[in-house]
Amino acid sequence: MAGQDPGVHEVDRRERPCAGQPGCPWRVEADLPAFSVADMRKLRAADGQPGREAAMDAPVMACHKDQPGTAHPLRLCAGWLAVVGPHHLGVRMAVLTGELPAQALQPGDDWPELHESLAAMIDSWPENPGAPPPSRSRQRRTPPDD
């Protein structure tokens, strides 16, 4: 990165939401049944919203395909960065320090449609306890804590 402090290294991240099965959970057309209640709890712990930003020390979300023991154990999820990143203080600080480019916080022009928020993703998740019938209301739902 031109003009970047040579001691600062960019955070490893996905360039776009991953496809395949299961695809990135932030993709509207993703196969959400492949994701567990535990997965959704992890997402909730890393959630930020306008006016309720995630704290500096809140977890960040790695790509679900990049797990320990894989070639890329900690690449940040592109979908999560584009949807939640602007509302996560730790991510915003990474942009300010040059560890993340600002464009990582916006979907690319050729990206698939993403859920607008974690609440919208959970609303469309079939495992959501008490999920509405197929007409799906837009009330905020969260996975159970137990």
pTM, 2 dp? 0.76
Q: For residue 134, say if its preceding peptide bond is cis, omega within 30 degrees of 0.
A: no
Tokens found for residue 118: 């974690």
Q: Does residue 53 surpass a pLDDT of 60?
A: yes
| Per-residue pLDDT tens over the stretch 103-113 | 999 999 999 99
| Per-residue pLDDT tens over the stretch 62-83 | 888 877 777 766 889 999 999 9
67/101 Cα distance (integer angstroms): 23
